[in-house]
Amino acid sequence: MEPLAFKWIASATVEVIAAFVGVEGAAGRMRSAHLRDMEQKFERALKTKVNIKEGKKKGTGRIVIEFFTLDDFDRVAGALGIKVE
């Protein structure tokens, strides 16, 4: 699944806005076991805290990838295939 857009935020959080195919429900509802499982898979792959939030519209949401230092940011960006200059 390809991210729709990258939004870099100065508050030490990277939000990746992504579409989720086949995800039911809206924000505020109990998260599915599938989303919790995917969150854990992202965390293992990126070695940092990840939060998946469902959007209000069906099939939308956000993936929030946290970083805690600039080196951590560079490492996460590299893991996503983004070259940091």
Give the predicted TM-score (pTM) of the model: 0.62
Domain of 21, in residue numbers: 5-79
Give the chain as a DSSP string.
Answer: ---SEEEEETTTEEEEEEE-TT----TTSPPPHHHHHHHHHHHHHHTS-EEEEE-SSTTEEEEEEE-SSHHHHHHHHHHTTPPP-
Question: Which pLDDT does position 29 carry in this prediction?
Answer: 56
Within a domain: 46:
yes
Give 6-60 pLDDT, tens digit per residue.
Answer: 333 333 334 443 333 333 444 445 678 999 999 999 999 999 999 999 999 988 9
Within a domain: 59:
yes
Within a domain: 54:
yes
Within a domain: 84:
no
Number of domain units in the chain: 1
